[in-house]
Amino acid sequence: MNADKLLQQTKTTYEEVQPHLRACADVFHENEGELFTRTEAISLLEDEVDINSTTAAHTLGQLVGDTVDPIIQIEHKGEKYVGIIEFHEFAGAYGYINYDDLFGQGKRVVCQQCVNDATLDAEVTHATENDPVGSFSGGATWDELLAGIHEHYEQAHESVPEDVATGATLASGTTIGGNTAWHAGNDGSGSGLTADGVSVFATTGDVTGLSKGDLVFIDSDNSLYVEDGT
């Protein structure tokens, strides 16, 4: 698919969902510990944020596709469930229970300053339990993960932000990755304790012209290309 055409389609979707991202994220924060079927979640967003079902579905897809947003998606017996399992605020960071289709659930602590500055999820440092490209194995505690982020602060940032705002609020005003390529579902992609290289998003067929499983690649200079992932 032509990259310019894909980016234009992505821009149109971004313009549709961008005004509602923060409000929709807050709905799930208010219901921490509860998972909703996708149908229930869309209805909830319609009622709470006063948007139509199409916009609610697109916004939900962006939120659960964000690598560093605590809203996760779990598929069980053919049904998709979304919500926030557990969320914590720390000094200069926030943590939550992440879910990966391959590696299951695990704790994740995210650098708040990276989120404040980032426009791509590859730019955000996070410490994640069970991350195959990270430094923390299963059983890592919140304190151990937070220590990893604080060590990162010493190397990468000059100050620690006072306020915590999750990946739904970035310098760009959208969810992380929202101005690059549409990606839905927690696919486990992420940067571990590194934040560079090529970003890869596995699509679910939500973008016209893409098939489920297609891989959208965005390299370090923001060039975009698509490969058949089947």
- Tokens linked to 69: 């947003």
**Burial class for 222, CB neighbours closer than 10 Å (0-12, 13-18, 19+):** exposed
- Tokens linked to 116: 């404040």
Q: What is the pLDDT of residues 102-118, one digit of tens each?
A: 888 899 999 999 988 88
CB count within 10 Å of CB 104 equals 12
Q: At what angle do helices 3-17 and 53-65 cross, to 10 degrees?
A: 110
Residue 174: pLDDT over 50:
no
- Tokens linked to 211: 């098939």
Rounded to an integer, the average pLDDT of 42-55 is 96
Q: What is the pLDDT of residues 129-170, one digit of tens each?
A: 987 777 787 889 999 999 999 999 999 999 898 888 887 766
Separation of alpha carbons 178 and 66, rounded Å: 8
Closest to 178 in 3D by CA, of 100, 69, 82, 74: 69
Closest to 61 in 3D by CA, of 120, 122, 20: 20
Closest to 41 in 3D by CA, of 12, 67, 22, 63: 63
Separation of alpha carbons 110 and 68, rounded Å: 7
- Tokens linked to 104: 């299951």
Residue 192: pLDDT over 60:
no
Largest CA distance in the chain: 47
DSSP for residue 20: G
pLDDT at position 143: 95
Residue 212: pLDDT over 50:
no
How many distinct helices (H) and strands (E) make up the chain?
6, 10
- Tokens linked to 18: 């961008």
pTM: 0.70
